[in-house]
């Protein structure tokens, strides 16, 4: 059985890693959402050559070269593939969520599932042990491996016991108490060519000391000297204020002790700090009964049942069997803080990006991003703003210059949808076709062995 699963996993990864087709393909007549905030083209033409977008325009305005294939997408919508900026791969296999699961095969499973749900690139955000993720990233960059493109933060940095809690994550984070340790940690990460540096600043609900300002300022300074950016796990409003002043580049979570005030929002906008909402894990306990996305017939449920073991889906549903009304009300009050802060940030023009804390238990790759996009819109973003946050702005944050928008010169990474997400953002789950680097992906093959 293990051998057959390994072979199946290799097949899925190989399919996803197909080189870009050399021939030209003209996709015609779909509604096209560029992903950069510009208006949709209601009847479009999208020419793909060598895995890249060659031309984009209205139907009839784009001339295809002789011999180009033509695909009629009348009634469909095209948009860029999603990009997740906050994930934690490798810890869940079926019903188990343990450190021993953190293997190359499990990471590949997560990346393939992300791609199945329409997520083309992800940033692993600081819970990374050993060399596994670096090796996967290198293999992808060399064209030997597919799945969603992986970027890495390496080991996150925090005060003693301030990193991710629980036995599953024991010993992963750098634990620092002095400025030399802070700078040495960044030096080691820079040597591994991480894509960003992650820090935990808060007291983790009282189980750890906060990371002192002198130490996170040392991390930020050392990282910036080495051309790296810093993303902060934050809880308290006061810490967020000082982190912005210290030059932090991103918040991995929203402030959670109170709503962000005007001064903090203005500072975030002025300093171009990127912000991840991470709404969906605190969203879960706000429902008193089974939410729509875990109900038979819902597009999300269709994706889940095709990509996740039935026993796990059943466990996800069972959580809602006996919900305590007081607990639900408390969760809703706490969640309201996050929604109001995100709406305020968006209205002020802050750089909100799609980040979902993906990879926590039963918070699966792709599922989490799709749910997060809906939560962002429910919090006050328009569907168009949510799409920008999940595509072009997320690519901008990850320094993926070739991704995130349907523009000439970009990689041809896009979704073909059966319905318009500008009408209903959950239509991003109605995936008819997935094209990555110009190749149409056999999505079913990505996840068939994981059910």
Please give the pLDDT value at position 345: 98
Q: What backbone phi and psi angles, to 5 degrees, belong to 343?
A: -60, -40
Q: What backbone phi and psi angles, to 5 degrees, belong to 433?
A: -155, 145
Sorted by sequence, the CB contacts under 8 Å of residue 150 that are 6+ apart come out as: 89, 107, 111, 121, 122, 124, 133, 136, 137, 140
Read off the pTM: 0.95
Phi-psi group of 122: left, alpha or beta (phi > 0 → left; psi -120 to 50 → alpha; rest → beta): beta
Count of structural domains within the chain:
2
Using DSSP, state whether 120 is helix, strand or coil: strand
Please give the pLDDT value at position 1: 37
DSSP string, 242-267: HHHHHT--EESS---SSPPPHHHHHH
Pair (113, 155) in one structural domain? yes
Q: Please, which pLDDT band fits residue 403 given cuts at 50, 70 and 90? A: very high
Q: How far is CA 292 from the centre of its chain?
A: 22
pLDDT above 70 for 342:
yes
Closest CA to 80 of 49, 37, 17: 37
Pair (147, 173) in one structural domain? yes
Q: Please, which pLDDT band fits residue 23 given cuts at 50, 70 and 90? A: confident
Q: Please, which pLDDT band fits residue 17 given cuts at 50, 70 and 90? A: low
Q: Please, which pLDDT band fits residue 13 given cuts at 50, 70 and 90? A: very low
Pair (245, 322) in one structural domain? yes
Pair (72, 135) in one structural domain? no
Q: Considering the chain, what is the average pLDDT of its residues?
A: 94
Please give the pLDDT value at position 166: 84
Sorted by sequence, the CB contacts under 8 Å of residue 204 that are 6+ apart come out as: 161, 162, 165
Helix (H) or strand (E) holding 135: helix 132-141
* DSSP secondary structure letter of residue 41: B
| Separation CA 132–CA 234 (nearest Å) | 27
Pair (253, 387) in one structural domain? yes
Pair (412, 383) in one structural domain? no
Please give the pLDDT value at position 307: 96
Pair (270, 306) in one structural domain? yes
The structure tokens listed for 91 are 């810890």
Domain that holds residue 360: 80-397
Q: What angle do CA 411, 147, 292 make, to 5 degrees?
A: 100
Pair (92, 54) in one structural domain? no
Pair (354, 387) in one structural domain? yes
Look up tokens 């900026």; give the residue: 85
In sequence order, the β-bridge partners of residue 351 are: 274
Q: Please, which pLDDT band fits residue 450 given cuts at 50, 70 and 90? A: confident
Q: Please, which pLDDT band fits residue 391 given cuts at 50, 70 and 90? A: very high
Q: How far is CA 233 from the centre of its chain?
A: 16
The 10s digit of each residue's pLDDT in 204-214 is 888 999 999 99
Q: What angle do CA 183, 360, 440 make, to 5 degrees?
A: 100
CATH of the domain at 440: 2.30.40.10
Using DSSP, state whether 228 is helix, strand or coil: coil
Q: What angle do CA 408, 272, 236 make, to 5 degrees?
A: 135
| Separation CA 105–CA 7 (nearest Å) | 11
The 10s digit of each residue's pLDDT in 246-293 is 999 999 999 999 999 999 999 999 999 999 999 999 999 999 999 999
Radius of gyration of the chain (CA): 21
Pair (136, 182) in one structural domain? yes
> Which of 397, 415, 437 is the last residue in one of the domains?
397
Pair (149, 37) in one structural domain? no
Pair (75, 85) in one structural domain? no
Please give the pLDDT value at position 205: 86
CATH of the domain at 285: 3.20.20.140
- Where is average pLDDT lowest: 5-14, 99-108, 125-134, 422-431? 5-14
Q: Taken in order 263, 264, 269, 270, is the CA torsion positive or negative?
A: positive
Closest CA to 299 of 117, 33, 451: 117
Dihedral angle of Cα 193, 118, 332, 204, to the nearest 10 degrees: -20
Sorted by sequence, the CB contacts under 8 Å of residue 117 that are 6+ apart come out as: 82, 303, 307, 365, 366, 367, 369, 370, 429, 431
- Mean pLDDT over residues 373-400, rounded? 98
pLDDT above 70 for 101:
yes
Q: Please, which pLDDT band fits residue 19 given cuts at 50, 70 and 90? A: low
């Amino acid at each position: 059985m293990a051998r057959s699963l390994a072979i199946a996993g290799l097949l899925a990864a190989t399919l996803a890693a197909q080189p870009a087709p050399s021939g030209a393909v003209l996709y015609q007549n779909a509604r096209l959402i560029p992903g950069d905030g510009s208006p949709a083209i209601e009847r479009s033409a999208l020419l793909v050559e060598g895995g890249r977008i060659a031309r984009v325009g209205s139907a009839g305005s784009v001339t295809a070269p002789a011999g180009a294939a033509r695909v009629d997408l009348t009634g469909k919508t095209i948009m860029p593939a999603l990009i997740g900026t906050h994930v934690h791969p490798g810890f869940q296999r079926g019903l188990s969520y343990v450190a021993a699961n953190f293997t190359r095969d499990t990471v590949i499973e997560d990346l393939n599932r992300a791609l199945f749900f329409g997520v083309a690139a992800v940033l692993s955000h600081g819970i990374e042990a050993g060399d596994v993720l670096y090796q996967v990233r290198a293999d992808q960059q060399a064209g030997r491996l597919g799945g969603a493109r992986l970027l890495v933060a390496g080991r996150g940095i925090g005060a003693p016991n301030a990193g991710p809690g629980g036995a599953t994550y024991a010993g992963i984070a750098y634990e620092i108490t002095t400025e030399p340790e802070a700078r040495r940690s960044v030096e080691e990460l820079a040597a591994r060519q991480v894509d960003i540096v992650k820090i935990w600043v808060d007291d983790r609900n009282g189980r750890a000391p906060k990371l002192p300002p002198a130490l996170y300022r040392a991390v930020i300074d050392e990282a910036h000297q080495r051309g790296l950016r810093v993303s902060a796990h934050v809880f308290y409003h006061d810490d967020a204020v000082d982190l912005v002043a210290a030059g932090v580049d991103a918040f991995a979570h929203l402030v959670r002790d109170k709503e962000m005030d005007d001064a903090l929002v203005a500072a975030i906008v002025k300093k171009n700090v990127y912000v991840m909402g991470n709404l969906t894990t605190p969203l879960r306990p706000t429902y008193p009964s089974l939410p729509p996305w875990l109900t038979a017939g819902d597009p999300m449920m269709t994706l889940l049942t095709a990509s996740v073991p039935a026993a796990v889906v059943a466990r996800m549903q069972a959580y809602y069997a006996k919900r305590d009304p007081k607990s639900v009300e408390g969760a809703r009050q706490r969640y309201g803080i996050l929604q109001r802060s995100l709406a305020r940030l968006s209205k002020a023009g802050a750089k909100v990006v799609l980040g979902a804390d993906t990879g926590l238990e039963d918070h699966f790759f792709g599922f989490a991003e799709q749910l997060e996009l809906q939560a962002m819109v429910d919090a006050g973003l328009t569907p168009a703003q949510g799409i920008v946050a999940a595509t072009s702005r997320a690519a901008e944050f990850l320094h993926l210059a070739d991704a995130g928008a349907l523009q000439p010169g970009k990689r041809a990474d896009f979704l073909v949808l059966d319905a318009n997400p500008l009408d209903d953002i959950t239509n991003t789950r109605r995936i008819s076709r997935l094209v990555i680097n110009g190749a149409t992906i056999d999505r079913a093959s990505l996840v068939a062995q994981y059910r």
